[in-house]
Chain A
């Protein structure tokens, strides 16, 4: 499975990736239209400044996902190839997944009552944050599993 890696040294914290993320997950998929949508789209990533560096934080599709165990609606599933998936139709917005995520990588969209997490832009060739990043701080490559 491909994974998103981040070069924290290169990240300027410019938030271009966040905008690209919100837009690609909006109804219209277009920046100018997206900002006028009824429920404004939110990015599934955040950038946290810690110890002098910027760290993008997003769902890393854990092999033993705590969010899946916590999900009382069976809305979260895991597949070896596809990683973690979330079924909106089953979700009741109870935020158990938010409470369980050890990375704080699930964002509760309170207005839409839906948890938001990075889906690696599953319908696109590559995640849109990579294209948006002006410094090449985001890397998209096959995960090397270490013990």
Chain B
């Protein structure tokens, strides 16, 4: 009987458990979390903070999940070191556990910008349910909150706080929000929507100091201006949690580097999810894609391979779906090309109807899409990108109202069976 250890109890870890148990009902599986809840929907913490989702709806699996699947769940345990030579992990409480096969699904942690005063009380990351609860606890005494960073996490936090009637200022170093997932044009639509709904965006500005005696009182900007605020959320992206494998044979770049089987440089150690740096289909090289659906897919494949299968991971892909105040936005793959002439752009812009669609094509392959207001075909575009379909004959139709799955069914891998 094998012993599997999974470090990390979120998307990738749970997907791995389910994949292992599909074929292997008997082996011992231990899953370790440094948080104190069973697995929950991490992406819903902003909805929880907003009051849209209650705590009972945030659990990712039922209360009996671990028991039903014969899983040993260790909560509030931090792994300090992986020892690949002895096939064991060492926990912070000095206890040790041996494994036959290990999955590192430790996720990522918020990056705190290196500004003076960032350690003051009242500065939070926004990553865990505990973060959301801690922030919620401060709401009765909070009038104004500053969010550092205009990425997805920052904007979701801003939405949640404004829903709770807190005055929100989002400080964004870049000239646009969501600069890691949207082009400037798409960002304008989001910015308008946020502005109309009372979220103030300070674009092209950066925080230089958190002011206060122990507790946050204000945030000083590079313009010299200071914003009175007792709550600060650091949302400047996340960095992979790689500490437990530093200084051993497991290869690290930005994240833990894996091969096409999601194996690290040590054959019986796998990585998946936000900590994992796997091949990226549109970039053509390895990259960290810290996204829920990517984590699920990687966890699933890592789990199958840990259970003895040999399933190839085709690669990750940037894919984001956002929704702000009724405006749907999807970003897939490459979204900005600079002025590289190798890319062809197909575009529709209708500012009155709040619709913007941009497709990026390179060598007759779709490599990216930005869709604002009308996202109905995003899954079909995603498929064209993933399967590297030659779209030469489809180009003229891709943005037409009638375009959809029937247009691509002759070009994709799966054989169509429903149209008879």
Interface residues of A (CB under 8 A from B): 3-8, 46, 48-51, 53, 55, 57, 60, 66, 69-70, 72-74, 89-90, 92-96, 98-108, 110-111, 113, 139, 146
Partner of A49, one of B57, B377, B402: B402
Q: Assess whether B57 is in contact with A99, with CB atoms less than 8 Å apart.
A: no
Task: Collect the chain A residues with CB atoms within 8 Å of residue B418's CB.
Answer: 3-6, 60
| Measured CA separation A39–B377 after assembly (Å) | 23
Partner of A100, one of B44, B57, B326, B379: B379
| Chain B 367-390: CB-based contact to A (< 8 A → 1; otherwise 0) | 000000001111110110000000
Task: Collect the chain A residues with CB atoms within 8 Å of residue B332's CB.
Answer: 99
Chain B residues 231-250 with CB under 8 Å of chain A are none
Chain B residues 29-86 with CB under 8 Å of chain A are 41-44, 47, 52-53, 57, 59-61
Q: Is B321 an interface residue (CB 8 A)?
A: yes
- Once A69-B293, A69-B300, A98-B321 are accepted as A-B contacts, the answer to whether A48 and B420 lie under 8 Å apart by CB is no
Q: Assess whether A99 is in contact with B53, with CB atoms less than 8 Å apart.
A: no
Q: Assess whether B404 is in contact with A92, with CB atoms less than 8 Å apart.
A: no
Task: Collect the chain A residues with CB atoms within 8 Å of residue B292's CB.
Answer: 70, 72, 96
- Once A95-B328, A102-B379 are accepted as A-B contacts, the answer to whether A50 and B420 lie under 8 Å apart by CB is no
Q: Assess whether A69 is in contact with B402, with CB atoms less than 8 Å apart.
A: no
| Measured CA separation A6–B377 after assembly (Å) | 21
- Once A72-B41, A92-B52, A94-B323 are accepted as A-B contacts, the answer to whether A48 and B402 lie under 8 Å apart by CB is yes
| Measured CA separation A13–B12 after assembly (Å) | 43
Beyond contacts A72-B42, A98-B378: 12 other A-B pairs, Cβ-Cβ < 8 A, are A3-B418, A5-B418, A50-B404, A53-B406, A55-B405, A57-B405, A69-B296, A69-B300, A73-B57, A95-B323, A100-B293, A146-B417
Q: Is B297 an interface residue (CB 8 A)?
A: yes
| Measured CA separation A5–B417 after assembly (Å) | 8
Chain B residues 383-411 with CB under 8 Å of chain A are 383, 402-407
Q: Assess whether B43 is in contact with A103, with CB atoms less than 8 Å apart.
A: no
Task: Collect the chain A residues with CB atoms within 8 Å of residue B257's CB.
Answer: none
- Once A3-B418, A96-B293, A96-B321 are accepted as A-B contacts, the answer to whether A104 and B376 lie under 8 Å apart by CB is yes
Q: Assess whether A99 is in contact with B380, with CB atoms less than 8 Å apart.
A: no
Closest-by-CB residue of B relative to A95 is: B321
Q: Assess whether B380 is in contact with A102, with CB atoms less than 8 Å apart.
A: yes
Closest-by-CB residue of A relative to B46 is: A92
| Measured CA separation A40–B375 after assembly (Å) | 20
| Chain B 299-329: CB-based contact to A (< 8 A → 1; otherwise 0) | 0100000000000000000010111001010
Q: Assess whether B43 is in contact with A94, with CB atoms less than 8 Å apart.
A: yes
Closest-by-CB residue of B relative to A93 is: B323
Task: Collect the chain B residues with CB atoms within 8 Å of residue A139's CB.
Answer: 420
Sample 26 A-B pairs with CB under 8 A, ordered by A number: A5-B419, A6-B418, A8-B419, A46-B404, A50-B402, A50-B406, A51-B406, A51-B407, A55-B405, A66-B379, A70-B296, A73-B41, A73-B43, A74-B60, A90-B57, A94-B321, A94-B323, A96-B293, A98-B328, A98-B375, A99-B321, A100-B319, A100-B382, A102-B382, A105-B405, A111-B326
Task: Collect the chain B residues with CB atoms within 8 Å of residue A89's CB.
Answer: 57
Q: Assess whether B379 is in contact with A101, with CB atoms less than 8 Å apart.
A: yes
Closest-by-CB residue of B relative to A87 is: B57
Partner of A99, one of B61, B319, B420: B319
Task: Collect the chain B residues with CB atoms within 8 Å of residue A5's CB.
Answer: 418-420
Task: Collect the chain A residues with CB atoms within 8 Å of residue B47's CB.
Answer: 92
Q: Is B207 an interface residue (CB 8 A)?
A: no
| Measured CA separation A25–B32 after assembly (Å) | 44
- Once A100-B379, A106-B379 are accepted as A-B contacts, the answer to whether A95 and B405 lie under 8 Å apart by CB is no
| Measured CA separation A128–B186 after assembly (Å) | 39
Q: Assess whether B402 is in contact with A99, with CB atoms less than 8 Å apart.
A: no
B51 CB to nearest A CB, Å: 12
Q: Assess whether A99 is in contact with B382, with CB atoms less than 8 Å apart.
A: yes
Closest-by-CB residue of A relative to B414 is: A102
B358 CB to nearest A CB, Å: 16
Task: Collect the chain A residues with CB atoms within 8 Å of residue B403's CB.
Answer: 48
Q: Which of A48, A60, A69, A111 has the most CB of B within 10 A?
A: A69
Partner of B379, one of A53, A69, A103: A103
| Measured CA separation A111–B323 after assembly (Å) | 12
| Measured CA separation A82–B420 after assembly (Å) | 23
Closest-by-CB residue of A relative to B415 is: A146
| Measured CA separation A30–B49 after assembly (Å) | 39
Closest-by-CB residue of A relative to B377 is: A104
Task: Collect the chain A residues with CB atoms within 8 Å of residue B419's CB.
Answer: 5-8, 55
- Once A72-B44, A73-B41, A104-B405 are accepted as A-B contacts, the answer to whether A95 and B375 lie under 8 Å apart by CB is yes
